[in-house]
Amino acid sequence: MAVVSYREALNQALAEEMERDERVFLLGEEVAFYEGSYKVTKGLLAKFGPERVRDTPIAEEVIAGSAIGSALGGLRPVAEMMTVNFMLLAMDQIVNHAAKIRYMFNGQTSLPLVIRTPQGAGKQLGAQHSQQLESYVCHCPGLIVLAPATPADAKGLLKTAIRDENPIIFLENQNLYGVKGEVPEGEHLVPIGRANITRTGADVTMIAYSNTVYLAEKAAEQLASEDISVELIDLRTLHPLDMDTILQSVAKTHRVVIVSEAWRTGNLAAEIAMQIQEAAFDELDAPILRVTAKDVPMPYSRDLEQAALPQVADIIAAVKQIV
């Protein structure tokens, strides 16, 4: 095991996959000479050259379209959108083309495409640069959506994603790039579609992903001091959901709290809650609760920004409400 940061783990994954397969290449705004806005592509231009690490115009629809075309042509592109907020400009390419091509051509072609993008709030970047939009892409059949929380999962899932034959949206919370953790040395792959139980417990199932895994862990630690036992599930894959792992946990704890930093209305947490309700209603001893961001554009003010986002205290209050 080696202790590395989240961004270093992503960098390792990219470098290893580019060394393994010459068809893998990177494209995006400032991924080459500037080495990425969050320095995830640091050193890769020097190592692999401008043919495989390509700066693009500031035009997200061009980035997505070029990636789709090159994937259809036999390459394995990894496209970076500078933020998920900018990815909105490429939604026609992503939703109407990337997500549908394999279906419309009856599986006669694959589309091995990864779109990496940071998202999230908490850094005072204002309403237009602080969004979490996983619900937008999870709503679209044909897309796989990943959101790793730890450096180990970031590396293992990115390597798996690059080898997959389907279009994948790879969401990286901007608050996690400096987070450090142990990452296995050598070949390290994490399977798509499999959640991870990071903490076992008996009283309540807590479901989180990406940055909220760390909030949930802090809440679980505090609740443990009050003899409330939390089982924490890190989803890792948002679409398709690992409902088997979730339902097995619900059958044990009979209570559920779901934590997300996205807006409350239309939140992925509501979809998870409904699937639990449909499949395991008789197992529930209390209503399923959601802890989410407020339904407001993200404020710039530091205090207001924190007030709009879910906090550890909010998670603890939700658990105590149903236990």
pLDDT in tens, 72-92: 999 999 999 999 999 999 999
When divided into structural domains, the chain yields a total of 2
Q: What percent of the chain has pLDDT over 70?
A: 100
Query: Residue 251: which pLDDT band, with cuts at 50, 70 and 90?
Result: very high
Q: Which residues pair with 141 in a beta bridge?
A: none
Query: Which pLDDT tens digit goes with each residue over 193-230?
Result: 999 999 999 999 999 999 999 999 999 999 999 999 99
| Span 165-190, average pLDDT | 96
| 61 labelled catalytic | no
Alpha-carbon separation of residue 288 from 207, 266, 281, 315 (angstroms): 11, 16, 10, 13
| 60 labelled catalytic | yes
CA dist., res. 206 & res. 201, Å (int):
10
Does 80 fall in a domain?
A: yes
The alpha carbon dihedral of 189, 213, 172, 114 has a sign of positive
Does 191 fall in a domain?
A: no
Catalytic residue among 97, 129, 188, 254: 129
Domain containing residue 8: CATH number: 3.40.50.970
Asked if residue 186 has pLDDT above 90, the reply is no
| Span 126-148, average pLDDT | 97
**Cα atoms found within 13 Å of the Cα of residue 209, Cβ hemisphere only:** 29
Asked if residue 240 has pLDDT above 90, the reply is yes
Say yes or no: 252 and 155 in one domain. Answer: no
| Span 254-282, average pLDDT | 98
Does 188 fall in a domain?
A: no
- Side chain identity, residue 307: A
pLDDT at 185: 84
Say yes or no: 205 and 147 in one domain. Answer: no
| Nearest C-alpha neighbor of 80 from the set 170, 163, 140 | 170
Instruction: Quickly count: other Cβ atoms within 10 Å of residue 128's Cβ.
Output: 12
Alpha-carbon separation of residue 257 from 48, 74, 245, 246 (angstroms): 45, 43, 15, 11
| Span 90-103, average pLDDT | 97
Say yes or no: 228 and 262 in one domain. Answer: yes
CA dist., res. 206 & res. 316, Å (int):
11
Beta strand pairing status for 196-199 and 230-234?
antiparallel
pLDDT at 166: 97
Of 183, 204, 234, which residue sits at a domain end?
Answer: 183
Range of the domain at 100: 2-183
Average pLDDT taken over every residue of the chain:
97
- This prediction has a pTM of 0.97
Say yes or no: 16 and 143 in one domain. Answer: yes
Say yes or no: 178 and 291 in one domain. Answer: no
Domain containing residue 233: CATH number: 3.40.50.920
Catalytic residue among 16, 60, 134, 231: 60
Does 189 fall in a domain?
A: no
CA dist., res. 61 & res. 234, Å (int):
32
CA dist., res. 218 & res. 296, Å (int):
25
- Side chain identity, residue 122: G
| Span 313-322, average pLDDT | 98
Query: Residue 149: which pLDDT band, with cuts at 50, 70 and 90?
Result: very high
pLDDT at 32: 97
Say yes or no: 278 and 156 in one domain. Answer: no
Chain centroid to Cα 167, Å, comes to 14
| Span 4-14, average pLDDT | 98
Beta strand pairing status for 237-239 and 144-146?
antiparallel
Q: What percent of the chain has pLDDT over 90?
A: 99
- The encoded tokens of residue 183 equal 């990452």
- The encoded tokens of residue 70 equal 């090159």
Say yes or no: 123 and 68 in one domain. Answer: yes
CA dist., res. 133 & res. 172, Å (int):
11
- H helices then E strands: how many in the chain? 13, 14
Distance, first Cα to last Cα, the chain: 38
